[in-house]
Amino acid sequence: MEQQIDRRLDGVLGFTIPSRDARGRVARLGPALDEILSAHAYPPVIARLLAEALVLAALLGTTLKGDGGQLTLQAQTEAGVVSLLVADYKNGPGGGALRGYVQFDADRLAEQGSDPTLFGLFGKGYLAITFDQDAVAGAEAHRYQGIVPLEGASLGKAVEHYFFQSEQIPSFVRIDVREREDGGCIAGGLLVQHLPEGEVGRERLHVRHDHPEWEHIQALATTIRGEELTDDMLGLDEIVWRLFHEEKEIRVSDAAQLTRGCRCNEAHIRDVLASFPAGERQDMADEGGNINVDCAFCSRIFPIAVASFAN
C-alpha cells in the first residue's frame, strides 16, 4: 500500500484495486458525530439512523473532486414515523464538513418498539441523493440527483439500489453504529464499487453485475464485520489491508478529515432576510422586534432585529 493513514476517527480513506476494476471508501466517525447528535436529544433509534446517514454522506461526498462540492442525502415520506432525514457533506481543503437533522413523530416511534425496520420508520418513503459539484479547473459547475424508493433493510441497502438503478454501478455498502461506554457514539462504513469506466471498443464492465472480477471483490468485502468498522483501535488502512491484502496492488488515496460543519451564520441569515420587503420582515418579527431564525441542524436560534435593516 502506498500511503499509511494514522487517523482512526473522523476520517475517510479512498482506495482502488486496479487489477479488479474496483474502487472504495472506508469511513469512521467519532467526536464529529457526537457533536452533531448533541444538538438534539434524539432517542437511540433516531440517533443511530442519523449516524448511518452521516457515514453514507461521507462515503459518497468524498468522491467529489475539488473544494466546494456538496453531497446531500435526503429521505422523506408523508406518512412515516420519520418525516424528514437530511445529511450532507461539503468538500473543503484537506477534508469535509458534515451536518444532519431528523424530523420524527415521537409518539409513533414509541409504537415501533426498540428495533424498528426501515419500512417501519419511513413506510413508502423515497431517498434522494444530490451531487452538487462546484466549478473546478475551468470546468462548469454541475448538479444531478437520483431518487429511488427506500427499499431494503437499511439506508445502506437503499444506496446500493440507487447505484444499481440510477448509475448502473455494482456496489456494496455496510455500516455499523456502536455506543461507547462513555455515552458517545462511533459509526463506521465501507463502500466498494465496480469502476464505471470501460475501455473504448470493449464491453463496459459496469453493466455486468455478474462480472467475475466484481463477484470476487464483493465476496471479499462481505467478510467485513461491524465491530471492525467501529473499532477505534483499528486504522482505516488496516481495514483495507485485511480485506484485500492478497490482491496484486492496492492504491490508497484521498485521505480526508471529517468535521461537524453546520454553515449557519448571522451574516448569511441577514442576507436572506434582506431580500424580503420591509413589510414582510415586520410581520416575521416578535413583540420585541426580533426575527428569530432557528437552524434545525445545530439547534441554534439567531435573533435578528428588524430595526437593523435599512428600509
pLDDT tens-digit readout, 117-133: 999 999 888 999 999 87
CA distance 68 to 132: 9
Which set of grid coordinates corresponds to residue 108? 409513533
**pLDDT at site 7:** 58
At 174, phi and psi to the nearest 5?
-140, 135
- The residues, any chain, with a CB within 8 Å of residue 276's CB and separated by 6 or more, are 284
Cα separation of the two ends of the chain? 62
pLDDT band with cut points at 50, 70 and 90 for residue 3:
very low
Domains of the chain, each with CATH number or no CATH: 11-260 (3.55.30.10), 266-308 (no CATH)
**What's the mean pLDDT in 214-227?**
94
pLDDT tens digits, 11-29: 999 999 998 999 999 999 9
pLDDT tens digits, 146-205: 888 898 889 999 999 888 887 788 999 999 999 988 878 999 999 999 875 543 333 444
**pLDDT at site 57:** 96
Q: Residue 125: which of 104, 143, 98, 144 has the closest Cα?
A: 104
Better-predicted residue by pLDDT, 298 or 210? 298
**pLDDT at site 2:** 42
pLDDT exceeds 70 at position 36: yes
108 sits in the region (left: phi over 0; alpha: psi -120 to 50; else beta) called: alpha
Give, in degrees to the nearest 5, the angle at Cα 121 between 117 and 125: 110
**pLDDT at site 205:** 43
95 to 14, 59, 66, 121, 260: CA distances (angstroms): 12, 12, 10, 32, 11
pLDDT tens digits, 71-101: 999 998 878 899 999 999 998 887 899 999 9
**pLDDT at site 135:** 46
**What's the mean pLDDT in 38-57?**
95
In contact, 236 and 9? CB cutoff 8 Å: no
**pLDDT at site 64:** 84
**What's the mean pLDDT in 126-145?**
74
**pLDDT at site 203:** 43
pLDDT exceeds 90 at position 136: no
**pLDDT at site 186:** 96
Which set of grid coordinates corresponds to residue 95? 477534508
Average per-residue pLDDT in the chain?
86
pLDDT exceeds 90 at position 250: yes
- The residues, any chain, with a CB within 8 Å of residue 143's CB and separated by 6 or more, are 130, 131, 132, 133
Better-predicted residue by pLDDT, 212 or 210? 212
